[in-house]
Amino acid sequence: MKKLFLNFLQETLKPANESNSTQAGLSLVELMIVVSIISILATSATQQYNMYTLKTGVDPCLGYLV
């Protein structure tokens, strides 16, 4: 059991160039795609929110005039 644990520690503490594991994480292109999608969604959401606040701000004024 102790030998197995020591082998595990040696494998996990190996430098990256000695390890035979595959690359994990996002590449720069994938990260740029994610950021662009989020920015498009945020732009759409802010436009819709502005329209919502304009509609809710005008409706009470019209109610007082009628």
Distance of alpha carbon 66 from alpha carbon 64, whole angstroms: 6
Residue 19's region, left for phi above 0, alpha for psi from -120 to 50, else beta, is: beta
Mean pLDDT of the residues in the chain: 78
pTM given for the model: 0.48
Q: What is the pLDDT of residues 23-42, one digit of tens each?
A: 678 799 999 999 999 999 99
